[in-house]
Chains A and B, each alone.
Chain A
C-alpha cells in the first residue's frame, strides 16, 4: 500500500484530463515507481511477464486514472505514456 492512499479524499479523484493510459510492456523493468507513487492508487502489477521477466503495471480499472501524468514522468524507462482523448472518447495520436 502506498503512502498516498492514506491521504486521498474523494475530491482528489476528479479527473485532471481525459486520457488513455498505455504501457510499452517490454520497456518495463519492474521498478514499481508508478504503482507506488500514483496519487490515486490506480495501478497494480499485472500477471503478465514481459521479456525481462518482470510484471508490467496495469490499470486497476478503466476509469481509475485521473490523467495527472505522474506515472509518465516517474517511469525511468519511458514505458508509460498517456494518450490525450477528446470528448467523444476517440484517441488522438500524440506526436
Chain B
C-alpha cells in the first residue's frame, strides 16, 4: 500500500538518532508523538518525514506530558508507539510513564541523555538519567532499559525495545547518551524477513470470557486493543483483574504491585543482556555502558599491554540490572572499575551486587567522555588492591 520502503535494507552511514528512528520503523512502529529537544530532535524530524511515507502517524504534541499520553492512547488503539526526548522532557514524561506501567501499556521511550540536572547542558552528552528510568515515577514498578554504545546498536536495540515492550507490556527505554545519539557510523540494516518482531499477546477467548488484567503464567495478561469488541476499562487507579478500581482492598494493591515488578524480575534471565571483552581470565573488571564502554575497551587493551589482566563487562540492559552476572564476576575479580558520565548511578547497583569486592568509581561530567588513559589509571590502581 505504501510506496516508500519501510525497512531501509542496506549499508548506511547514519546518525545515531536517525538509526534509532529507522530501527523503530523496522520494528513496526507506526505512531510517534513527541516534542523537539536537543539532542533528540533529529528522531522527531526523521519520524515526521518517514511516518507519512510508511502510513504511520507523526504528531507533534504541545509538550512532553501530552506526548507520553498520546503514545499510551495510540498503543491501546493497537499501534506500536514511541516518543523520544532528553532529560527535561524525560522528567515531564514520568507521570505518564507511571500510568503506562500501571496500565501495562507497551510503549518505547527514547532518552538521548545530556548534561543535567534541569536545563543543564543541552548540547553535551551525559549519562545522568539512568536511575530515573527505573525510579522516575512514583510507586513501585519494574522497567526494561537498554544502553546502546554504537549507531548500529541504536538501530538494533530500538527493535529490542519494541519486542520487550510487546512481550512484557511495559514501558521500555532506550537510554543513549548524547554522544551516541549524534554520532555518525556505519549501520547495516538487514532485510525485513531477517528482523525478529514480537507482537503483543492477544486474548484467545471471546469478550464474555476475557478478564483484562488476569495474567498468564508469565505474569503478563493478553492485551485486547480498543475497538476489538472487548470493551476494556483501563484506569491508573489500583484495579482488580477486571480493570475496575479497587482502592479499598490491600490484597488487590499488593498483588497488583507485586506482579508489575515480578513480571520483569521473574523473567530477568530472558531480558538481561551483557557483552564481555577479555573477561575470562580477568583480575580486574570494568563495568560500563554506552559511550564510557567504548573508552573502556581501549583502556582494557592498554592494561593488558601493561601486564594488567583487565576485562570489560558491558551492560547492554541497564534495567533490569544484571545482578547475577555482576555478582558472579565480583566473586572472581580483585576489584571493579565503573566509569560513568554522572556522579554515581549504576555504580550503586554494581556495589550492591558486588558486595565485598572493592568498586572504584570514575565519574566524568561536562560532556567530554572518559579518556582511555583515565580508565587505565584507575585499572592500574584497582589491580594493586
Task: Indicate yes or no for A touching B, C-beta below 8 A.
Answer: no
